[in-house]
């Protein structure tokens, strides 16, 4: 039913915007570009709007040069938000979103606030890009090689290269159809998982100097700040992947990365098997998924680390009592 509603809105709209959220990741940009390319190739008047620079490892995606900022854009007939849990994640695009005649919200976060006129939120889906695939595939749209490349990339990033327990049979079926579009999966893999700049490597090494273990080494915490990023000649997005590196240490169940800014701290949480990342960040008003979640914290850093250590202790004790 919801797919039919989305199709009706797309068909009736003259001017359509599709937008990324702040600090975009692979699933967000993949869903943005996949949706944009499919609609553009079908003859729709559609614009891909981005608010922040995309991470270096997904700059290989086709047709990114066709994205625009929101400067000078007028209210559209239809605004499609992808992979965005709430209005605040739209950042400076919030007013433009609210100015649209109709709004569609496509997302897979369990914390989604249903801020659209039409809300398709499937927290069981491992990636918004998988939802985008099923949407256009079921509606009979042509999915080109370029669109397939973007969608496959988003599915791969949000499933940890198909490793997370959120992956289902439908995920591999979608990937199979996309691969049949003659996409270059080696190019995608190299860019996503086998490429790291010297600056990013330097940042990883220096950030690991802050590594501390807690609770019999089941919790590992690292932190980074803007000064260190600048010192390494790195970009802010170069800290992406550090928390996953820490998570992969033997014995670690919960990995924490704290990005300290001048006025706040960005918390990133990754868990392996037994602890819910959402439970940890919910104490700070954050959200995400069971294995990957985040939140924005108040300073100071030392106090927040104390808070996190206590919260994770409760989660670990709860897991132990159940086993």
Q: Are residues 16 and 88 in the same domain?
A: yes
% of the chain residues with pLDDT over 90: 93
CA dihedral 73, 50, 159, 280 (to 10 degrees): -100
Per DSSP, the residues of 54-120 read: PPGGGTTSTTGGG-B-STTPPPPSEEEEES--SGGGGGGGHHHHHHSSEEEEEE--TT----SSEEE
Answer yes or no: are the C-beta atoms of 150 and 37 closer than 8 Å.
Answer: yes
CATH number at residue 216: 3.10.310.30
The answer, yes or no, to whether residue 305 has pLDDT greater than 70, is yes
Res 318: pLDDT: 76
HSE-CB for 7 with a 13 A CA cutoff:
12
Mean pLDDT in residue range 197-209: 97
- Percentage of the chain surpassing pLDDT 70? 98
Is pLDDT above 90 for 323? no
Question: How many CB atoms are closer than 10 A to CB 61?
Answer: 22
Tokens coding 121:
């939120």
- 194, 216, 239 - which closes a domain: 194
Residue 141, domain extent: 2-194
Output the pTM of the full model.
0.91
225 and 204: one domain? yes
Q: 124-174 pLDDT, tens per residue?
A: 999 999 999 999 999 999 999 999 999 999 999 999 999 998 999 999 999
Model confidence pLDDT, tens digit, residues 15-28: 999 999 999 999 99
Query: Does residue 132 sit in the same domain as residue 238?
Result: no
Same domain, 189 and 206: no
For residues 157 and 144, the answer to whether their CB atoms sit within 8 Å is: no
């Amino acid at each position: 039913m919801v797919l039919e509603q989305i199709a009706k809105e797309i068909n009736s709209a003259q001017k359509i915007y599709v937008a990324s959220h702040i600090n975009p990741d692979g699933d967000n940009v993949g869903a943005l570009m996949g949706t944009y390319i499919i609609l553009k190739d079908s003859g729709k008047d559609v614009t891909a709007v981005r608010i922040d620079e995309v991470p270096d490892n997904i700059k290989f995606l086709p047709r990114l040069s066709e994205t625009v900022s929101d400067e000078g854009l007028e209210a559209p007939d239809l605004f499609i938000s992808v992979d965005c849990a709430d209005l605040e994640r739209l950042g400076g695009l919030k007013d433009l979103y609210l100015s649209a005649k109709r709004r569609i919200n496509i997302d897979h976060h369990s914390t989604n606030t249903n801020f659209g006129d039409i809300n398709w939120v499937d927290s069981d889906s491992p990636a918004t890009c998988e939802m985008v695939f099923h949407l256009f595939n079921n509606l009979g749209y042509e999915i080109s090689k370029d669109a397939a490349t973007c969608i496959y990339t988003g599915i791969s990033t949000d499933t940890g290269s198909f490793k997370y327990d959120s992956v289902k049979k439908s995920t591999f079926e979608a990937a199979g159809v996309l691969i049949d579009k003659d996409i270059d999966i080696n190019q995608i893999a190299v860019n996503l998982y086998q490429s790291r700049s010297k600056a990013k490597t330097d940042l990883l090494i220096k950030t690991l100097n802050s590594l501390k273990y807690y609770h019999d080494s089941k919790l590992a915490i690292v932190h980074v700040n803007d000064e260190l990023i600048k010192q390494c000649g790195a970009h802010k997005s170069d800290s992406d992947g550090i928390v996953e590196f820490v998570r992969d240490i033997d014995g670690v169940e919960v990995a924490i990365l704290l990005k300290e800014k001048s006025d706040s701290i960005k918390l990133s949480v990754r868990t392996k098997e037994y602890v819910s990342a959402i439970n940890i960040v919910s104490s700070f008003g954050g959200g995400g998924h069971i294995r990957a979640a985040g939140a924005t914290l108040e300073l100071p850093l030392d106090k927040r680390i104390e808070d996190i250590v206590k919260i994770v202790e409760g989660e670990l004790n709860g897991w132990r009592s159940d086993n």
